[in-house]
Structure 1
């Protein structure tokens, strides 16, 4: 294929963020959007990734530590990531999965030296059918391509519950126990759970608890975004 044809084809590929021609770039979006997504890093709780004003664990992780050992996120759930995540999840813009995964790998790869597997949050088959894909699984697949770290469907969603937003904290915990189960006992020491957004952390904590009970020694969480303040909805 000649250089002219390559240039013409490149001009037809659109940036998934601004929908302008992608141009010559090694990134999954155009150079301008890539720069716009490079946000200053904030001081965060090393366990749950909530923003804090000091170095160390937040009060909630000190009083009620989650089962996962650490968390990393690209950003708070705020502009521009919040708008992009909504497009990714609810407008079926799957091309954003590559962009998010590329950002995650570039920022978190230094912490991956002994990670043995990426694991995605399972989705009930009917919800996946309606949405068209599992966004957590899509992130895992690209992260595996960038890192050569394998990914697997360790969990299955066994029970379709009401939306977590309709449940109080106690009801949510009961619903999550019914919703997820391990397919098999993993013979691994260090696993990273991949998800798009953490709010309360209830879903990721439920999965981490099962992994720890199965013998996994270290469980991490990699995210696109973390809500600025925990609330009663979400994962």
Structure 2
């Protein structure tokens, strides 16, 4: 598997060839106001890892979550995270719409959160709610993805008292997902976590970078 190594964009974590002697921001992130601090992934989403991700999500092969947690552990080695006391942070998964979760029988991001929490001791909690089933993102460009996800994520409504999320007010959050592509999903989740849930900061970690 191809590990993500420097040089990479200091915001979205996309890797670039060549030598860099300082931090840089890629053209896709330059000028954008993103709700998360930065994103970092363990490996590139190609080759064998792409196959693993597909089997995990769509073939329900939960035995692969350990391998993907290994990739997340690699992401945690990023220098900006390595110097933090992550036991004071919280792992939060990107939510699935309830219909999709019923079809799949699990949320892959929550599975990874629990696996990573068991290994590191970082607490994990479900905070966000997906308000509607959005169109698939795979064939959309960056702007279309942002429009597609607008208003999709929220805190659980008060009447859903049985599914109220964990309290992240004033806390630092590691937003967990399997793959990061354009960052549109992560941005929308981080926006809700900061503006509505009161999180101090949000950093995105994923097993793979698309």
> Which category of TM-score, normalised to the shorter sequence, fits these structures?
0.7 to 0.9
Change (3 A) 1:166 1:51: closer
How far did residue 203 of structure 1 move? 0.7
Structure 1 residues without counterparts, runs of 5 or longer: 1-36, 228-235
Residue number in structure 2 paired with 1:113: 85
CA distance in 2, matches of 1:40, 1:186: 29
With the length of structure 2 as denominator, give the TM-score of the two structures: 0.80
Larger Rg: 1
Report what 2:111 is aligned to: 138
How many equivalent pairs are there? 191
Unaligned runs of 5+ in 2: 157-164
- Structure-1 separation of matches of 2:142 and 2:122: 34
C-alpha contact 1:104 1:224 (8 A) present in aligned 2: yes
CA distance in structure 2 between the partners assigned to 1:47 and 1:168 by the alignment? 19
- 2:203 and 2:140 map into 1 onto residues whose CA distance is 26
Structure with more relative contact order (C-alpha pairs < 8 Å, separation 6 or more): 2
Deviation at 1:102, TM superposition (A): 3.0
Choose the corresponding residue for 1:82, options 50, 56, 70.
Answer: 50
Q: TM-score, normalised by structure 1?
A: 0.72
Are the counterparts in 2 of residues 195 and 223 from structure 1 also a CA contact under 8 Å?
yes
Of residues 190, 199, 202, the one that matches 1:216 is 199
For 2:135, what is the secondary structure of its paired residue? Answer: coil
